[in-house]
Chain A
Amino acid sequence: MPSVTKTTLAVLAAATMLAGAAAPAAAQQEPLSGDLRIFLDTSNPAPRAAMEGMIARFQEMHPDLEIETTIIDREAYKTQLRNFLTANAPDVATWHAGNRMAPFVEAGLLEDVSDLWDEEISRDLASTKGSMTMDGKQWGVPYTYYQWGVYYREDLFEQYGLSAPETWDAFKENCRTLLDNGVKCFAIGTKFLWTAAGWFDYINLRTNGYEFHMDLTAGRVPWTDERVRATFANWRELIDMNAYIDNHTSYSWQEALPFMVQGDAAMYLMGNFVVAPLREAGLSDDQLGFFQFPAIDASIPMAEEAPTDTFHIPAQAQNKEAARAFLRYVADPENQTIINAELGQLPVNSRATIEDDEFLTAGFAMLSSAEGLSQFFDRDAPAEMAKAGMEGFQEFMVRPDNLDAILQRLERVRQRVY
């Protein structure tokens, strides 16, 4: 450690001298100095490149800053975050909006960045301000979000004379035709559980609406409620049709992709990140289509899932001034345009432009007219409830007859957690 401190001091000293000389030149931008340690969970190739590009541009704007970037595997990050927020915290760290950041805010591990959310940023990032706010303060800034929906094989649909369904009945009708022709309706891999939660979220949003879904994930409704049962009854219709690929508990979501690519399954309910691997696997945009999850109850307005990824400043950060400047740059419309084009996702900043892409345009239109945006089951519900819930969903998909036992178990967890 001593040597590190020494270098830091040296850099600081050098930077201060430089700053003294250059101060008049950069009037509107205080030259930043010192170290800026950034921890990222963007370990997949495309997000990694996008983040590295962004950091390089930020570095160019602040040449005196010693930026040190650490990229941690996305799954490992979820557990490591707790450790590094409490000891030896970085200056900036990625995480997620909504309930997922709640435990850290409550434990006082994240910096209150309400000062960044001035009028301009609040207006530009209005769509996610709610999910970044706790106790009336903001705790980070979002950099991207993406839509969920049904990705399907347009060529298979054409072959069997199907069109993108808008109602639940049409949805099931399509599925029946596909099954009669020996094609499974839905690819899914539930080994890591969360994919099943996507189905639950959507069927529940369509059966009971946004308010109810939010009440349920916030623990205000018992799991044994009749309306929850109605959701599962709708879901069961698909399960009883054998609409899902067999042995889905053995696969991760990536391992289920070949079914879709080879035409053994025609649809995949997934986030927009599924497009990149499908294209890489050789599906052209003519073969691949997207539609909004169909309405089940016509009287219920359509709400959508749009998980938001965010940047935060740990409370124990050393260089909060530089960290704030970095977060401001993250929120910048021009920057969000660039990184989201690389990520293949949607910018949160309303002044950013969306890349010309069939799926992003469709997603943007869909989210703009949505009744409400949910984050995703494991971000809306507290961690423990999410875990128990997703396990229950997976069990239900394999053994739908166990529903009563599953719901009672979830209800017990709910009563303990909230």
Chain B
Amino acid sequence: MVAVATPPRGATRKAEAPTAFGGYWRRNQLALAPWLFLAPGALFFALYVVAPILQSFQISLYEWDGLGAKEWVGLRNYAELWWDDAFWTSLRNNVIWLVLYLLAIPAGLFIALFLNQTVAGIRIYKSLFFFPFVISQVVVGLVFSWFYDPTFGLFNEILGVFGLGPIAVLGDPTFVTYGIIAAGLWPQTAYCMILYLTGLNAVDPEQIEAGRLDGARGWRMLWYVVLPQLRPATFIAFVVTIIGALRSFDLVSVMTAGGPFGESRVLAYYMFEVALSEYGFRMGYGAAIAVVLFAIMMIYIAFFLAKMYRDERGA
């Protein structure tokens, strides 16, 4: 930390009569300055992040259509969640998302390792692999909708070559969530790849050299020498992937709108559906779902913050 003990500026201007405020300022300047610098950020964080979270908690205790008067219902919205099949379907899908989305991390790692070489034009290949992360999720969703289309989609053409199908992936309640996750993995893999590519730049060549001298190669080299050095990248990849899985919304909305009959819903989409969509407007119920989602995210966020804190301490 930068702990340069600058003498208070006022000290050089002793001649001025010290007012009560000036005196206080001089005594506590070092303690106050960081807070002053933090103030704008903290203010907006409180206003736009913390306050809405608290507000969601509050709204979740009411029955409210967003227009008329609010009616206090206590925990009834939560009780209703317990009996709501759609909620459990969404929760189940969120868990599937959470698990399968993590595939993006090893996939990203291997693409990064593959691209981490010096060949002519490697930058172009890297950009091409990164491309899916740059385009909008909506476009990804549309592209995959066509890919899966049961009548003219490429996916079923391929299945046809093996004498299988056609499968309407997005119209079939058993496959639909997996189909959407596969679409989501495409950009997410690119994201993890870029994280690992930057990580690989920081890998110490001397350690690799030393490992090589000791006869490590292939998997052993990767596992014992390279991966430990990539730990920061892995950690970030984990966090962004988990958060990404929990807030998955765009793809579900674009590809299936939660269908068929709600089998591809996730919590974020279900919340949107009950609170903000064409047939929704149950703000209280939507807020209750949001609170549950927040609680699940909190597990990871707490873990993330705890680790950050430990690392800062250790450093």
**Are chains A and B native binding partners rather than an unrelated pairing?**
yes
- Residues on A lying within 8 angstroms of B by beta carbon are 75, 78-79, 82, 86, 103-104, 106-107, 109, 190-193, 246-251, 378, 383-384, 386-387, 391-392, 394-395, 398-399, 409, 412, 416
* A191 contacts across to B, CB distance below 8 A: 171, 256-257, 259-260
Interface of A is mostly: helix
* A249 contacts across to B, CB distance below 8 A: 168, 170-172, 259-261
A250 contacts B170, CB within 8 Å? Answer: yes
Pick from A75, A104, A398, A416: contact of B261, CB under 8 Å: A398
B259 contacts A103, CB within 8 Å? Answer: no
A-B contact count (CB 8 A): 75
Total B residues in contact with A, Cβ cutoff 8 Å: 29
Produce 1/0 per residue, B150-175, CB < 8 A to A. Answer: 10000000000000001010111100
- Residues on B lying within 8 angstroms of A by beta carbon are 65-68, 80, 83, 85, 149-150, 166, 168, 170-173, 256-257, 259-262, 273, 276-282
Interface of B is mostly: loop
Known: A247-B171, A412-B83. A384 touches B282 (CB 8 A): yes
Known: A106-B68, A249-B171, A250-B171. A394 touches B259 (CB 8 A): yes
How distant is B65 from chain A, measured CB to nearest CB, in Å?
7
Measured CB to CB, the nearest residue on chain A to B63 is A416
How distant is B142 from chain A, measured CB to nearest CB, in Å?
13
How distant is A308 from chain B, measured CB to nearest CB, in Å?
18
Known: A107-B67, A250-B171. A79 touches B278 (CB 8 A): yes
Known: A394-B259, A395-B261. A250 touches B168 (CB 8 A): yes
* A192 contacts across to B, CB distance below 8 A: 257
Known: A103-B67, A250-B150. A394 touches B260 (CB 8 A): yes
How distant is A376 from chain B, measured CB to nearest CB, in Å?
13
* A392 contacts across to B, CB distance below 8 A: 261
B279 contacts A398, CB within 8 Å? Answer: no
Pick from A82, A190, A394, A398: contact of B67, CB under 8 Å: A82
How distant is A30 from chain B, measured CB to nearest CB, in Å?
34
> How far does the alpha carbon of A60 sit from the alpha carbon of B150 in the complex, in Å?
51
B279 contacts A384, CB within 8 Å? Answer: yes
* A416 contacts across to B, CB distance below 8 A: 80
* B65 contacts across to A, CB distance below 8 A: 103, 107
* A398 contacts across to B, CB distance below 8 A: 173, 260-261
Top 3 A-B pairs, shortest CB-CB distance: A387-B279, A250-B171, A249-B171
